[in-house]
Amino acid sequence: MSPERIKRRARKRHQEDFVKYKVDEATSVCLWTLYRTVNEGGKTEEVRRYKCFMCDKDFKNRAGLGAHHYKSHGRWAAYRQCVVGSICRACETEFWSVARLEDHLRASHSCSQQLIKQGLCTKVIQPGYGSRRRRQVEIEQFTPAAPQRAGSAPARLDEGHWSWWQQTFYQEVCQVLHVMGEEEEMPISAQLFQLIRKHPLFEEEIREALDRIEAEANALQGDPDVQPWSEQQFRIVREAVELARQFVSAATTQGTVTTEAMTRQSFRDTVKDYDWQSVVHCCPDDYVTRSSSLFILAEGWEAVWPAERGELLNIAVVKVDASPVHGFCGVWGLLAAGLFDWGKGFDHYHAWNGFSCKPVSDTDSSCMTAIGGRAIAAQAIMALVIILWAGTLSGVAFFALKMTGKLRIDEETEEAGMDLKQHSPPKAYAIGQAPPKEKQLEQGKEELEKVMTGKTVVFNDYSWSHSDSQESIEKKMQQAWDATEREENHVLLKEVAAILKKYPSLTLRLKGISSGRGQNNHITEAAFTKDFEKDFPSEPLDKREPYAHGRVLSIKRMLVKEGIKADRMLSEIVVASGSKVEMTVE
Ligand SMILES: [Zn+2]
Ligand SMILES: [Zn+2]
């Protein structure tokens, strides 16, 4: 072979290698980016909830609480009280309809704030978004005319204007503090709690009011001419405000969540050896409708999914209007049956006679003609009858439901969404519906026992003499506790990992048993530290039994590679006869 040809071939092979490398890297980076996007790792976040202090209900977001305040406690958004006529008096713009003025005031914070500040408000609240009356008004006042602006937009107010409910709360707290000392039945802090529970308020509104009250109380007490409270009373006031603050923050924090970060390197290693087959472990072999979930997501993803679900659903809203699909297509189906059921021009009509024509009468068997038009008319009447029939029946049914209050879904379902509450996703993806812990434990134990029957993790023996170099002794020690040395361990631990993935609530206890004759010296410790310090920094050597501990951690490392989180595994070192590692679930 000529040198030129060899060169060409080598170059070609290099190119192919490089393309493959690029594809692999691109895939890995994409997956990792996806992982990082979904799982913002390494962060400790406070989980907040939005509480209605009046009835102790929790909501996932501010909008949910706002809707509840409106529906249950009659609190409307501030801008709604300045919807008067069709002109915005803050920016002097004519919108030609109430609905459009409302759209404007909802969007323009500076306009609505200005109106509230100037007292240009009304007691008559317009019907809210989504209500039938608003739709009616919208249709009645519909106009294509463009808004006409005469003035300019007002400047944004520096300081947020307080809502009526916030002001009332503030005034009532002031009142309580003002009359303090004159015949009290209840401690001040209890009275504050009562006021917090009395109004439909958002958390930050309560805080703002409390902050202002505290600042004002300090100022008043600091002025020797005023000084409304005695030293002891003032202490009680300050304590009560602080208690109220703590009450509010305790009611609105749910706890903290720490997510685990993965570097790109460790992510790539995990994905490279990932046994994708093991994810799908619930598929039955026979062709029947499955009754269990197709996938059980790994624990981490299960936790991430409910948290991110809201966002995902927001971008994945697909609107399909039912009436064009069912109504229009249904009517067309009926008409088409009349239109296309001809044999010889429009003259003949087969209907249920199949492909023979309709005879004129029982005695005259010649074909009836010129009935195509009548057939189509009959189909059209049929369509009308069906609409009337279905409309009347469902009208009666829905009216009855409406009258008995069963037509609307309850608030909780509305919040969470019909899909999640009533339809199949919880069953299809086993979201938050993994079997209960006891059930998992029972089945997991049984399966683990089956896998472990007659088997155990085996280790090789290595002997060394004291004349060996320290490095080679360390190496041999590490090999002696290394479970990856034996092929059968890989098979066995894959099965153990599959069980742990299937039952995400279980933890694995690794009991390293050894007789207590293993020696510990600086070489053992060095070998152990070099081997495990990076992977298990929080598990320093158990000096009684370095080998047993090494075996346990080596198994742990293999299971981590199989995708099991380290915090789902517990190490235990036991000094007893024999030398093995026992695995149990709990
Ligand atoms: Zn409430
Ligand atoms: Zn305006």
The ligand that comes nearest to the alpha carbon of residue 83 is: 2
Task: State the pLDDT at residue 555.
Answer: 92
CA atoms within 13 A on the CB side of 243: 14
- Strand 569-575 and strand 508-514: pairing? parallel
The position carrying tokens 């067309």 is 332
Task: State the pLDDT at residue 300.
Answer: 55
The ligand that comes nearest to the alpha carbon of residue 100 is: 2
Q: Give the Å distance between the CA of 97 and the centre of ligand 2.
A: 13
The ligand that comes nearest to the alpha carbon of residue 106 is: 2
Reported as type and span, the H/E element at residue 50 is strand 50-52
CATH hierarchy code of domain 437-585: 3.30.1330.60
Instruction: Give 264-282 as a DSSP string.
Output: HHHHHHHHHT--HHHH---
Per-residue pLDDT of the chain (586 residues; tens, 9 = 90+): 678 888 888 888 888 888 888 888 877 777 777 777 666 556 666 777 888 999 888 888 888 888 888 888 888 777 888 888 888 888 888 888 888 888 888 888 788 888 887 877 777 777 777 778 888 888 888 877 778 877 777 776 655 677 778 888 999 998 888 887 776 678 888 888 989 999 999 998 999 999 999 999 898 888 888 788 888 888 888 999 999 999 888 888 877 766 666 777 777 777 777 766 665 544 444 444 545 555 554 555 555 555 555 554 444 344 445 566 677 888 888 888 777 766 555 566 666 666 666 677 777 777 776 666 777 788 888 889 988 998 899 999 988 888 887 777 777 677 666 666 666 554 544 444 567 788 888 888 998 988 888 888 888 877 777 778 888 888 888 888 888 888 889 989 999 998 888 888 889 999 888 876 666 678 888 888 888 888 888 888 887 788 888 899 999 999 998 888 888 898 888 887 777 888 999 8
Q: Give the Å distance between the CA of 126 and the centre of ligand 2.
A: 17
CA nearest to 408, candidates 125, 69, 71, 61: 71
* CA–CA distance, 56 with 388 (Å, rounded to integer): 47
The ligand that comes nearest to the alpha carbon of residue 52 is: 1
Handedness of CA 174, 176, 178, 180 (dihedral sign): negative
The ligand that comes nearest to the alpha carbon of residue 70 is: 1
- Strand 508-514 and strand 580-585: pairing? antiparallel
The per-residue b/e assignment along 264-278, b for 16 or more CB within 10 angstroms, e otherwise, is: eeebbebeeeeeeee
Q: Give the Å distance between the CA of 386 and the centre of ligand 1.
A: 45
The ligand that comes nearest to the alpha carbon of residue 200 is: 1
Q: Long-range contacts made by residues 529-538, C-beta under 8 angstroms, separation at least 24?
A: 530/474, 530/478, 531/478, 531/481, 532/557, 535/560, 536/566
* CA–CA distance, 95 with 92 (Å, rounded to integer): 10
Handedness of CA 526, 528, 529, 530 (dihedral sign): positive
Task: State the pLDDT at residue 81.
Answer: 80
Instruction: Give 134-194 as a DSSP string.
Output: HHHHHHHT---PPPEE-S-PPPPPSSPPPPHHHHHHHHHHHHHHHTTTSS-SS-HHHHHHH
Q: Give the Å distance between the CA of 391 and the centre of ligand 1.
A: 37
Q: Give the Å distance between the CA of 112 and the centre of ligand 2.
A: 7
Q: In the 8-state DSSP scheme, what is residue 431?
A: T
Tally of CB atoms within 10 A around 531? 19
Task: State the pLDDT at residue 84.
Answer: 83
* CA–CA distance, 309 with 73 (Å, rounded to integer): 29
Q: Give the Å distance between the CA of 103 and the centre of ligand 1.
A: 27
Tell me the ipTM for this assembly: 0.80
The ligand that comes nearest to the alpha carbon of residue 102 is: 2
Q: Give the Å distance between the CA of 203 and the centre of ligand 1.
A: 13
- Strand 148-149 and strand 93-94: pairing? antiparallel
Q: Give the Å distance between the CA of 415 and the centre of ligand 1.
A: 14
The ligand that comes nearest to the alpha carbon of residue 74 is: 1
Q: How remote is the C-alpha of 34 from its chain's centroid?
A: 16
Contact 169, 206 (CB under 8 A): yes
Contacts of 164 (CB under 8 A, 6+ apart): none
Task: State the pLDDT at residue 405.
Answer: 79
Task: State the pLDDT at residue 275.
Answer: 67
Q: For 48, list phi and psi in degrees, rounded to 5.
A: -100, 155
Q: Give the Å distance between the CA of 156 and the centre of ligand 2.
A: 12
Q: Give the Å distance between the CA of 195 and the centre of ligand 1.
A: 14
Q: Give the Å distance between the CA of 70 and the centre of ligand 1.
A: 9
